[in-house]
Amino acid sequence: MPTLQDPLMIVTDLDGSLLDHHTYSWEPAQPWLERLNEEGIPVVICSSKTAAEILPLQRLLGIISSPYIAENGAVVHWEEFNGSVDRAANKGYTEICQTLQKLRDRLGFKFIGFADVTEKEVAEWTGLTPHNAALAKMREGSESLIWRDSAARFDDFSEALAAEELTLVQGGRFWSVMNRGAGKGAALDLLLRHYTHPVGHKWLTIGLGDGPNDGPMLDKVDYAVIIKGYSKTPVTLQREGRDVEERVFHSTHFGPEGWSEGLSHFITQG
């Protein structure tokens, strides 16, 4: 089991994981956050939230200099880098919205995206304050949407997006449309390839998440915490091997309580 002296990196989802699903509080995780901060261990937020939402949260959480992954993996940021998984081939936010509009005009799909509504409506959907809803609308690499058509039409939509080199990722509350190949797992891959440990050690990663969109990220980390959540779709991991049972932990508590429970399970404190 890892100790605080190991070259640890914590990679965490926000909603329903580090933040309470209903109140957005992280109080039960505060002692662990302080401990990690004291030890200089990066806490990488890996969330469906935008960079504009993550930055003030990082300050509140006291994890300012850590990298982050925003918009379900469509955006990756660390000190020397800000961008997406394969920038050259990628559509930016404006282009993604234009493609969505084109598909809607041509094929008549019924959905409603953040670009289609005001911050007031986003606030009503999410329970965010109007200010925070405005931050949620400041998107760079993915569009969030609510599907308002049949399941059969959803399959057609998914195919039409694939033909445009786009893909759908299911988040906690919304679907995200982003470039094909993007996602939390691909974003973490990129980060681990380029963001080096201060003295060159190989990062020992612990990932924490509660939703199906966290699966690809939890498959990439050395130790995975699946936090008890409210999602109807369970988190399924692809990882295999003899040590899966030792390296995957299911919390008994929800949200930040489960988050702390997971870290206490894996990290031996000396």
| Contacts with Mg ion, residue ranges (CB under 5 A) | 13, 15-16, 172, 210-211
Distance between CA atoms of residues 190 and 86, nearest Å: 9
Q: Which is nearer to Mg ion, 13 or 71 (CB)?
A: 13
Task: For Mg ion, give the closer residue by CB, 18 or 85.
Answer: 18
To Mg ion, the closest distance from the beta carbon of 180 in angstroms equals 23
DSSP per position, 160-196: HHHHTTEEEEE-SSSEEEEETT-SHHHHHHHHHHH--
- State which H helix or E strand residue 30 sits in: helix 30-38
What's the closest the beta carbon of residue 22 comes to Mg ion, in angstroms? 12
Q: What is the DSSP letter of 221?
A: S
Nearest approach, Cβ of 47 to Mg ion (angstroms)?
8
Among residues 6, 13, 214, 219, which one is catalytic? 13
Which one, of 63, 173, 28, 137, lies nearest residue 55 by Cα? 63
C-alpha angle 105-111-115 in degrees, rounded to nearest 5: 85
Residue nearest to Mg ion (CB): 16
**Is there a catalytic annotation at residue 13?**
yes
Query: Helices (H), strands (E): how many in the chain?
Result: 10, 12
Residue 5 beta carbon to Mg ion: minimum distance, rounded to whole angstroms:
30
Tokens of 30: 């505060």
Distances in whole angstroms, Cα of residue 265 to Cα of each of 46, 119, 158, 259, 269? 21, 40, 39, 10, 10
Between 143 and 210, CB nearer to Mg ion: 210
Nearer to Mg ion, 113 or 211 (CB): 211
Give the length of the chain.
270
In whole angstroms, the minimum distance from the beta carbon of 213 to Mg ion comes to 7
Of 153 and 250, CB closest to Mg ion: 250
Catalytic residues: 13
